[in-house]
Amino acid sequence: MTSIFQASTSRRAFLGVMGAGGLLLLPSAAVAATKRGGLVRIYKNPACGCCSEWAAILRQNGYRTEVIEMDDVTDVRRRARVPDELESCHTALIDSYAVEGHVPVEAIDRMLSQRPKIAGIAVPGMPLGSPGMNGPPEPFDVIDFTDDGRRGIYMRYN
């Protein structure tokens, strides 16, 4: 039997139908995110407070969020094809993109408005001063990544 994962030729089609907790919804039931106001599914560990702060920042900026708490987000990350070296403390699915870690709203807005041909964007680790991370700001990069392994600097924060 062919699963929807095998039958789909498009990673974006897969992410567009991925539902809460890794369950799949029919495409007609998927909610497409739009700039400032679409649904953002955030997968996080229940004990992680900085992830909750990041979700609150998204809500303050007009995004609707659904927080899915799970002990291990690894499976979601793998399905979204987030490279190991770009991992952080939470993974979000927004429309057809993965957003890994404490990515600023400005970068998410840009991605959703420009619709680049990437799999997603990430802020690896948990840099101080990034959204949801308190402390003296340190420089960090938002990295874009593709399904075929290419990476680039999407935005720089100093």
Give the model confidence (pLDDT) of 104-126 as tens digits.
999 999 999 999 999 999 999 99
Crossing angle, helix 49-60 and helix 105-114, to 10 degrees? 60
CATH 3.40.30.10 fits 33-157, yes or no: yes
Domains of the chain by residue range: 33-157
What pLDDT, in 10s, does the model give residues 23-79?
333 332 233 444 455 699 999 999 888 989 999 999 999 999 999 999 999 999 999
> Distance between CA atoms of 90 and 28, rounded to whole angstroms?
27
